[in-house]
């Protein structure tokens, strides 16, 4: 997580927070890698948590489907 804190300077074009869609004012954070702008530190931190939560849900779903696939099934002939 690398970011730049910008104070006293609005973006050249009208920009909105990548998380809450609020208009970016004179102070904001910009993600160094993606160049996305966030209106405050809370939005930046919360946006960073979203991929982690999505990955945890995907892992849980995959684990559950493996458990179901491992159960023996009755075949009727």
Q: How far apart are CA 63 and CA 46, in angstroms?
A: 26
Q: How far apart are CA 30 and CA 17, in angstroms?
A: 10
**Position 45 confidence tier, pLDDT thresholds 50, 70, 90:** confident
**Position 23 confidence tier, pLDDT thresholds 50, 70, 90:** very high
Task: Give 13 or 52, the one with higher predicted confidence.
Answer: 13
Q: How far apart are CA 77 and CA 55, in angstroms?
A: 41
**Domain boundaries defined on the chain:** 3-70
Cβ-based neighbour number of residue 6 at 10 Å: 16
CB 18 within 8 A of CB 38: yes
The secondary structure element, H or E, covering residue 30 is: strand 28-31
């Amino acid at each position: 997580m690398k970011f730049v804190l910008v104070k006293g300077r609005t973006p050249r074009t009208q920009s909105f927070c990548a998380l809450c869609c609020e208009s970016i004012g004179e102070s904001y954070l910009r993600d160094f890698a993606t160049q996305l702008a966030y209106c405050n530190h809370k939005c930046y931190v919360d946006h960073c948590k979203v991929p982690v939560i999505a990955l945890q849900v995907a892992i849980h779903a995959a684990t559950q489907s493996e458990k179901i696939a491992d159960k023996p099934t009755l075949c009727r002939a």
